[in-house]
Structure 1
Amino acid sequence: MAGLIDLEGLNLDANGVFMLGMTILAFLIPIVLILPPVPLQKSDALVQTHSLAGLGAAKSNLKKQHAAAAHAARDGQPAAIQSLVIYPVKSCRGIELGKSKVLPHGLQHDRIYTFAQLRSPFPAPVAADGSGSGKGGKDGKEEEEECWDFITQRQFARLATVVVELWLPDEMKLRRQGLNLKSTRETWMILRFPWRERGWRGWLEAMAAKLAGGLRAEPQREVLLPVDFPSEQEIEERGYTHENVRIWKERVRALNMEKDLSEELRLYLGVSNRLGLFRLDPAALREVHACAPSKETAGCQSVTGFQDAYPVNIQNLNSVQQFSSEILKDAGLKTLDVLRFRPNIILSGAPAYEEETWKKICLKSGSSGLYNPVRFHIACRTTRCKLPNVDPADGTRHPSEPDRTLRKVRNVDEGAPLKGCLGMQSIPLFDKGLSGDDLETWIGVGMTLEVEETGKHVIPK
């Protein structure tokens, strides 16, 4: 019969088929929105037992960092902590916190991982007589074996776009799951980076990402990593290896966990060599001696992890704003985000550059008494390289700023000629007689600053 369609033995006209299709769509759309058909990730299980650490964008204490009046020094009012930031993976995106534990090697979980690339030996150049006795390698020294070199945004700007999440065990969630904190006390870390396959697989990944996260969402890959240092049994089972990694001129013994990395991450970062991921060994911390206090003064030997040189970096928002006013802005640099300088402690209410006169400071909770006083030895100024040229929001690199202006207007330390300085390097101080797990304290946003000692800083040549 003309105009009729046989569907599973039933005769339906065109209007009937249309209504049937609309009914099916009306039924499926809510299901897709509530339970989108997206592939499961290893981290999905963490939502049931853990909570995400850090402050989201809505609660960030840096939303008004560019408001000069909000951070201006006021007579009779002490400077205070505006924000705390840690970087669990060196040169990757940071995590803003409201409070943090302070350990001898810095804020808890700060720079406990670093990426590194494997460098092949430098061949010795052939001498004029063809004997091959010339000297090669870095600084005229021949490399006799392969070496892992740490990498940062200086070489691979896309590290800035690798998101780091810290997942802490949640006692309430564990109880709802019938578990206790002792049975699931591991802290986990997730690295997320943009990645889309080519062809139809990439199209499906993009659709799945938008169904799960909204129209602006893009497909990602993730890497799940333990935060606690593995036991020797776990190291053997997972195929990790103890190896040396070079941090500037130091060789540090650490745990190579490249087995947990994906090839997609190496390709995304643009690393042509073999890519490694090193976990800081708590038993192999780097000792700090230059500009450091004595063991007696510090309460222990000053140490650091995968930080460049010192455990804690301090930035004064007024100093950043003052320096920012010296930069000629353009389309590639409209504002100067304090996070370009990778600080741990960000202060508000201190006069610009006054921190360069501090030698010892004490951070206090005031009348609340929430935290015990925390003291820091101010070791020296922070010399700056070209890393701040990378925008922490999107990983784009400015061709010259702020490095050019830093070298021009912040060449202020006679021990580091021709280098720009901004921010101060510091070392935590502890009470005498403490050891082991007792060498810790807490620090929080809002704590006020008291300067206990001032003096002149000169970086050792």
Structure 2
Amino acid sequence: MEDGGQAQRAWASNPPTAFIFLITVFAFFLPILIYFPPFPPFRRDALLETHVQVGIQHPSESGLRKSTQKHNAGRSVPVTAEGTARNNAKDGVEETPKTSTDGGRIRSLWIYPIKSCRGIELRQSRVLPTGLEFDRLYMFAQLRSPFPAPSSPSADGSGPVEHTWHFITQRQFPLLATVQVDLFVPKGEADSDKAASGAFLLVRFPWKERGLRGVLESAAAKLSRGWRAQPEKEFVLPVAFPVGSSSSRSPSPVPPGSGQESDAEEGEDVEIEDRRPRGYTHEKVTIWRDTVSALNMEAELPRELRLYLGVSNRLGLFRVDPARLREVRRCAPTPAEAGYQPVAGFQDAYPLHLLNLKSVRDFDAKIDKDKDLQELDPRRFRANIIVDNNDYSSPYDEETWKKIRFTSEPGNRKESNGSNDKKLVPSTFHVSCRTVRCKMPNVDQDSGYRHPVQPDKALRKFREVDEGAKRMGCLGMQVTPLFTNPGLPEGRKSWVEVGMSVEVLERGHHVYILQ
């Protein structure tokens, strides 16, 4: 006992020795913790064993960043009288000289696999009748009761009150902007028609449990993803429409590392619906004024997501049914003009949204800025195709476009590595109407902060330009794809890529038709 007490006193009387001992132990175990963390692997790591992540993953490679740097370097943007005259055209369709740089070039491409969640920037994409491949496949919705509540059990007093699913967006729940969506496709099939059948979406959102568990989650995040990383909750969704839920016969793949893998040999078709009771149901869901039947996959949602977003009602996750798409009419080309019936999935109204960076810059200069909005990020408008006009066209020149064609040039083959000649084929689009803006652009796409006023106020003040959309601001254009052989399903495909030149084939006047 006396010897033990002397040892403790000696240890306490020599703090440097104790400090050096602790540092030595820490230095010994730190590399072990880094390379062999005492936490289960993340699903992303499991997916990367068999899949590749799609899209631009580093901000320095973004086409928007490069364009902003070019603009800030002092590039002049003259507004010509010809451009102003075009913008004020009132009727008719006029043929224009087919100059390859007529409308500038594609600077950036975006898809939003889950409506209103964070997008994925691409260098190239396949174009389908529903828009860019993988765009708006899923959508969140909340179950709402009729308001005001009827005094009787139902409207006619004969049954229970009917609750209905209504889609949700960043307008009501701005934190949707911080829900990260990553797309993974099987290795070697990124450009293949089979890419979708084995693809997955990895969905992540910030979430930290309370107490010791939260401390461990923070440690796991920092050890695996860097010192600034925060704990997240994640779940995986299949891109392919689940087997047995529609006329689709493609089996739903099982995500690697999910514990649901089959023991079948590689390449053998496996019906996994019997291996995992999913509880999916077809239900009606309302998107704007349309009500469609879609597949409710809310069983895949972690309970924490509803709490994180602040949704008080029941939260659903709907997958668009490829056999029950919405027909697009109003300003879209007719079936006789397009050669097929234009359709959309969970897009607001039309298959594609096009934005002109020159127009965004011009509008940005008109906004009253404050500490919460110092520069207008084009991502706030959630476009699929972002172009940048040449120096000699005016802002909003795209509002006179009626038909355009994107063309690859031989000097731009670096975007597709020159490996696929079919991407050299021009892709043609019908420019259907202006995009009438709601208040969603008020949401910062990085933080999820919703500005109380801008840019909605400026849009209504400076961009009430469409006689069919009174007291509403417009920015961007709604676009419908056209195909060279639309009579056959396999002919309804084309490609777009960053760097393609924009050729304006027809110009004319646009009048928005309300839904």
> Aligned pair in 2 of structure 1 residues 348, 23: CA closer, same or farther (>3 Å)?
same
1:103 aligns with 2:128: yes
TM-score (norm 2): 0.79
Taking structure 1 as reference, are residues 119 and 185 closer, same or farther at Cα in structure 2, changes over 3 Å only?
closer
By how many angstroms is 1:4 displaced? 3.4
Q: Which amino acid aligns with 1:276?
A: G
Aligned-partner Cα distance in 1 for 2:76–2:306: 41
Provide the residue aligned with 1:29 in structure 2: 30
| Residues in 2 aligned to 1:195 and 1:87: alpha-carbon distance in whole angstroms | 22
2:290 aligns with one of 247, 250, 253: 250
Cα distance, 1:272 vs. partner? 0.3
> In structure 2, how many angstroms separate the alpha carbons of the residues matched to 1:243 and 1:433?
31
AA partner of residue 289 (structure 1): R
Q: Is the counterpart of residue 286 in structure 1 residue 303 in structure 2? A: no
CA contact (8 A) 1:317 1:347 kept: yes
1:60 alignment counterpart = 62
Q: Do the aligned partners of residues 134 and 415 (structure 1) sit closer, same or farther apart at CA in structure 2, a change above 3 Å counting?
A: farther
- Counterpart for residue 429 of structure 2: 376
Write out aligned runs for 1:305-384 (5 A): 305-350=345-390, 351-367=394-410, 370-384=423-437
The amino acid across from 1:148 in the alignment is W
Q: Which residue does the alignment assign to 1:45?
A: 46
Quick one: which of 180, 187, 190 aligns to 1:170?
187
1:301 partnered with 2:304 = no
CA contact (8 A) 1:169 1:186 kept: yes
User: Aligned runs of 1:149-188 on 2, under 5 Å?
Assistant: 149-171=166-188, 186-188=198-200
Q: Whole-Å Cα distance in 1 between the matches of residues 195 and 323 of structure 2?
A: 25
Instruction: State the alpha-carbon separation in 2 of the partners of residues 365 and 239 from structure 1.
Output: 45
- 1:437 CA displacement: 3.0
Q: How far, CA to CA, are the matches of 1:210 and 1:404 in structure 2?
A: 41
Does structure 2 retain, via aligned residues, the 8 Å contact 1:124–1:134? no
The answer on whether the counterparts of 2:153 and 2:160 sit within 8 Å (CA) in structure 1 is no
- Judge conservation of contact 1:235–1:241 (CA < 8 Å) in 2: no
Choose from 316, 322, 329 the match for 1:276. 316
One-letter identity of the residue aligned with 2:53: L
What is the distance in 2 between the residues matched to 1:134 and 1:239? 27
Classify 1:184/1:276 alpha carbon distance in 2 versus 1 (closer, same or farther; 3 Å). Answer: closer
Distance 1:354 1:253, change over 3 A: same
Q: Deviations over 1:122-149 (max 9, x none)?
A: 46656xxxxx79989xxxxx99511110
User: Which residue identity does 1:262 align to in structure 2?
Assistant: P
Q: Partner of 1:10 in structure 2? A: none
> Is the 8 Å Cα contact of residues 91 and 153 (structure 1) preserved in structure 2?
yes
Residues in 1 aligned to 2:430 and 2:226: alpha-carbon distance in whole angstroms: 47
Report what 1:4 is aligned to.
7
> Of residues 456, 461, 464 in structure 2, which corresponds to 1:411?
464
Distance 1:185 1:361, change over 3 A: closer
Identity over aligned residues, as a percent? 50
1:66 is paired with a residue whose SS is helix
Unmatched tracts of structure 1, length 5 or more: 6-12, 127-131, 137-141, 174-180
For the structure 1 residues 16 and 35, does the alpha-carbon distance in structure 2 shift closer, same or farther, using more than 3 Å as the test? same
State the Cα distance separating 1:366 from its structure 2 match.
Answer: 2.1
Per-residue CA distance 1:187-233 (angstroms, 9 max, x = gap): 00011000001112111211221111222110000011000111016
Distance 1:168 1:135 in 2: 48
Query: Among residues 267, 271, 290, which one is paired with 2:307 in the alignment?
Result: 267
Q: Deviations over 1:392-448 (max 9, x none)?
A: 011000010000000000000011100000000000001245422331111100000
1:83 matched residue in structure 2: 108
Distance 2:195 2:133 in 1: 22
1: distance between equivalents of 2:161 and 2:213? 44
CA contact (8 A) 1:71 1:348 kept: no
Change (3 A) 1:208 1:70: farther
Deviation at 1:66, TM superposition (A): 3.3
**2:505 maps to which residue?**
452
Q: CA separation in 1, counterparts of 2:504 and 2:460?
A: 28
SS of equivalent to 1:218: coil
Which residue identity does 2:28 align to in structure 1?
F
Residues 278-309 of structure 1 deviation map (CA, whole Å, 9 limit, x = unaligned): 00111111000111112232131100110100
1:227 and 2:244 correspond: no
Change (3 A) 1:381 1:268: same
Give the Cα–Cα distance (whole angstroms) in 1 for the partners of residues 194 and 455 of structure 2.
48
Is the contact made by 1:240 and 1:258 (CA closer than 8 Å) also made in structure 2? yes
What's the secondary structure of 1:207's corresponding residue? helix
Q: What SS is found at the alignment partner of 2:424?
A: coil
TM superposition shift of 1:74: 11
CA distance in 1, matches of 2:216, 2:42: 16
Structure 1 residues 147 and 19, CA, compared in 2 at 3 Å: closer, same or farther?
Answer: same
Amino acid paired to 1:95: I
CA contact (8 A) 2:406 2:427 kept: yes
SS at structure 2 position matched to 1:223? strand
Cα distance per residue 1:248-287 (max 9 Å; x no partner): 1111111110000011000000000000000011111100
Q: Distance in 2 between matches of 1:151 and 1:185?
A: 27
Q: Distance in 1 between matches of 2:79 and 2:187?
A: 40
CA distance in 2, matches of 1:363, 1:143: 54
Tell me the TM-score normalised to structure 1 length: 0.88
CA contact (8 A) 1:72 1:348 kept: no
Structural mapping, 1:380-459, within 5 Å: 380-432=433-485, 434-459=487-512
**2:142–2:166 CA contact under 8 A, matched in 1:** yes
CA shift at 1:14, angstroms? 9.1
How far apart, CA to CA, are the structure 2 residues paired with 1:184 and 1:429? Answer: 22
Residue 145 of structure 2 is matched in structure 1 by 120
Amino acid at match of 2:202: I
Between the two proteins, the alignment pairs up a number of residues equal to 438
> Are the aligned partners of 1:162 and 1:193 in contact in 2 as well (CA < 8 Å)?
yes
